[in-house]
Structure 1
Amino acid sequence: MRKPGYLGELEQMVLLAVLQLNDQAYGTSVLRELEQRVQRAVSRGALFVTLDRLEEKGMLTSRLGDPTPRRGGRPKRYLIVTPAGVAALRRSRTAWLKLWDGLDSVFE
């Protein structure tokens, strides 16, 4: 089995936003969450490419909600972080904390 790689910055942010949104995570809500929490504007195209890549890596899955007239009869694609996604975030967090360790004086 291949050793899991590190997540990119946007991949981490997207997975964390999906976790924050819990059962209300879908494309537009993730974009809003990123803008509100970290003041990061992400294009819809970049977000959906990232979502597809995370799904291919097995770190994210999705389910379709019910179609609504407001959406022209189309369903929302709700996003769910998989256990593999949580594990990848845990590895990334551990790596970042190790790199930050001992640097408090630099940022005071």
Structure 2
Amino acid sequence: MKKTQLGEFEEIVLLTIAVLNEEAYGIAIKKEIEDRINRGVSIGALQTAFKRMEDKGFVSSILGEPTQKRGGKRKRYYSITSYGLKTLDEIRDIRAQLWSAIPQTILDYRK
């Protein structure tokens, strides 16, 4: 299996982009992450993650149309690429393999 370079935060952002689908833009992604994982997210951290993931080919982005509501500013919409989906599949498989390899005696301590 190819070594996948995706940090925890990038994974969360990538999954959120997939969840939001056509509504995946900065503020919506920020709100969705904060609502789901109960953790604050800075716009700067998101912008950095977006740039890294675009550079790696995990996501692509387009600018939406300007709106009066936003003072003529355009939203940048993100979408997951096929390579991004493949990467998420690999990470899910790795995590599942690791979870299934944990001895039952360890898992019994959770109770």
Partner of 2:55: 56
- Are residue 107 (structure 1) and residue 110 (structure 2) matched? yes
Q: TM-score, normalised by structure 1?
A: 0.91
Give the deviation of 1:4 after TM superposition.
4.5
Q: In the alignment, is the contact (CA less than 8 A) between 1:68 and 1:75 conserved in 2?
A: yes
The alignment's C-alpha RMSD in Å is: 1.3
Give the deviation of 1:70 after TM superposition.
1.6
Q: TM-score, normalised by structure 2?
A: 0.88
Give the deviation of 1:28 after TM superposition.
0.2
Look up the equivalent residue of 1:20 and give its one-letter code.
V
In structure 2, C-alpha distance between the alignment counterparts of 1:105 and 1:32, rounded to whole Å = 35
In structure 2, C-alpha distance between the alignment counterparts of 1:79 and 1:46, rounded to whole Å = 15
Number of paired residues? 106
Q: In the alignment, is the contact (CA less than 8 A) between 1:63 and 1:79 conserved in 2?
A: yes
The structure whose Rg is larger is 2
Identity of paired residues, percent?
41
In structure 1, C-alpha distance between the alignment counterparts of 2:87 and 2:100, rounded to whole Å = 20
Partner of 2:15: 16
Give the deviation of 1:73 after TM superposition.
0.7
Partner of 1:40: 39
Partner of 2:28: 29
Give the deviation of 1:106 after TM superposition.
3.9
Partner of 1:5, secondary structure, is coil
Give the deviation of 1:102 after TM superposition.
4.4
Structure (1/2) with the larger strand percentage: 1
Question: Unmatched 5+ residue regions in structure 2?
Answer: none
- 4+ aligned runs moved over 2 Å, structure 1: 3-6, 102-108
